[in-house]
Amino acid sequence: MTDRDGAVRLLWYLTSPDGPTPWEPAGRWPTDFGHLRELARAIDSLGYYGALLGTGRDDGLTVAAALLAETGRMRFLPAVYPGLHSPAKLAQIADTVQRFSGGRLLFNVVNGQDATLAGYGVHHPHDERYAFSAEYWDAYRRVHRGEHQEIRGTHLHLAERPDDEGPLSPWPNDPVPVPLWGAGTSPAGVAHSVGLLDTYLSFADTPERLGAKFARVGAQAEALGRRLEFGTRFQLIVRPTEEEAWAHAEELLHRTSHATAVELAGWNLRGRTLEGFRPEEFGIEDPRVERRLAALRAGRLPEVRDLEVHPNVWTGPSLFGFDVVSPASGTYLVGSAENVAARIREYRAHGVRNFILSGFPLIEEAHRTAELLFPLLDLDH
């Protein structure tokens, strides 16, 4: 892997369901393993750095392992919740996948919400989750390196493993490390991230604000003698012209029901109802936000350009995003190939090296993106 100034890594999204507008039942396709296999082959052959594996019904580690033989170069980034596997078992899984794939596994470290982890039987208060996670990943790395002495901590106890040919014995060859990617925005989350991760991720924001966040996190890592890379997540509408791109954005907005828009917007209202949310209480003085709220309260969707929060950066059917209270997972880059490439280079200048992209339908848009965008960027494969 190179570290050229200006070079970027572009990852795609490997998930089901799929479809033109999968956030709406009418725009969602039924998908199966055959569809995931076709999608993985496209991501691999087109030259994407790898793919984020969506969380949901399918287990990410299982999907990654199942698709190894269908691909030859792409990396797989499945989510891993600490505590769902023994760290020793996860080390065994990682060693197997790394050997069989030629080192194409990445881990997306997810500490999750309290309710999510509780559903899996893991119960830790918010800040304690990070203490447990740090201990978990330290134990995982020690086992994966081949250490076999007893590991005893506050949350974990692994007995000394026999130095024989058993499944938990030290690996016979030097293991290929699995890079750790992940996020964390709270003070406890950032402290956890800077001591553990190789690549720190954040939802999209304006280039300046995202760059400032990454600079703060990077400085904390450097104080520990560590150096992080940074990445973000965008949906994507790239077309030969601006007019075509924004016409498609408007079409996606019109295919979104008012009920879905209200539901998606609710994630960004800090627990308030649509009627009860007052932007001024959060120091937000943007007439576009007021227009969005007024449209939803009147039973309409906002105008497409009222959702543009930076040149070519669009909050999409999620409707609000970072101009209301926080970064949003549904943020889009929208525009001509030249303008989208310019935005990516702008984000790169603010420290973003890794871009996790998606557009629906996933296979069709993966091809379109590779055709239009790849020739305009310095790509790190």
> What pLDDT digit, counting tens, does each position of 341-355 carry?
999 999 999 999 999
61, 18, 26, 23: which is closest to 42 by C-alpha? 18
| 96: in domain | yes
Domain contains 258: no
* Single pTM value for the model: 0.91
pLDDT for position 195: 96
Do the domain assignments include residue 292? no
Q: Is the CB of residue 347 less than 8 Å from the CB of residue 238? A: no
In a domain, 286, yes or no: no
Domain assignment of residue 273, yes or no: no
Q: How many CA atoms lie within 13 A of 144 on its CB side?
A: 23
Is the pLDDT score of 258 beyond 90? Answer: no
From 105, 99, 5, 4, select the one nearest 53 (Cα to Cα). Answer: 105
302-343 pLDDT per residue, tens: 889 888 889 999 987 665 443 433 334 578 999 999 999 999
pLDDT band at 372 (very low <50, low <70, confident <90, very high): very high
pLDDT > 70? residue 172:
no
Question: CA-based angle 46:16:14, to the nearest 5?
Answer: 30
Can you tell me the distance from the alpha carbon of 13 to that of 356, in angstroms, rounded to the nearest whole number? 7
Q: DSSP assignment, residue 105?
A: B
Residue 165 pLDDT class (50, 70, 90 cuts)? low
Q: Is there a contact between 16 and 37 (Cβ–Cβ < 8 Å)?
A: no
Region of residue 95 (phi > 0: left; psi between -120 and 50: alpha; otherwise: beta)? alpha
In the chain, how many domains are there?
A: 1
Q: Which two tokens stand for residue 175?
A: 């293991």
Q: How many CB atoms lie within 10 A of CB 336?
A: 19
* Distance from C-alpha of 170 to C-alpha of 293, rounded to nearest angstrom: 59
For residue 100, the tally of other CB atoms under 10 A from its CB is 13
Task: State the pLDDT at residue 1.
Answer: 37
CA atoms within 13 A of residue 217's CA, in its CB half-sphere: 33
CATH at 128: 3.20.20.30
- β-pairing, 27-29 vs 50-53, is unpaired
The pLDDT tens digits for 30-73 are 889 999 999 999 999 999 999 999 888 899 999 999 999 999 99
For residue 304, being part of any structural domain is answered with no
Domain of 231, in residue numbers: 9-243+328-376
Any domain includes 282 = no
Helix H or strand E encompassing 136 = helix 126-144
Residue 81: both structure tokens together: 């919740």
Are 252 and 359 spatial neighbours (Cβ–Cβ below 8 Å)? no
Residue 267 pLDDT: 66
Query: Tens digit of pLDDT for each residue in 176-229?
Result: 899 999 999 889 999 999 999 999 999 898 999 999 999 999 999 999 999 999
Q: Write the CB contacts of 339 (distance below 8 Å, at least 6 apart in sequence).
A: 242, 311, 312
Report the amino acid identity of residue 252: L
Query: In Å, how far from its chain's centre is CA 359?
Result: 14
Whether 136 maps to a domain, the answer reads: yes
DSSP SS3 for 125: coil
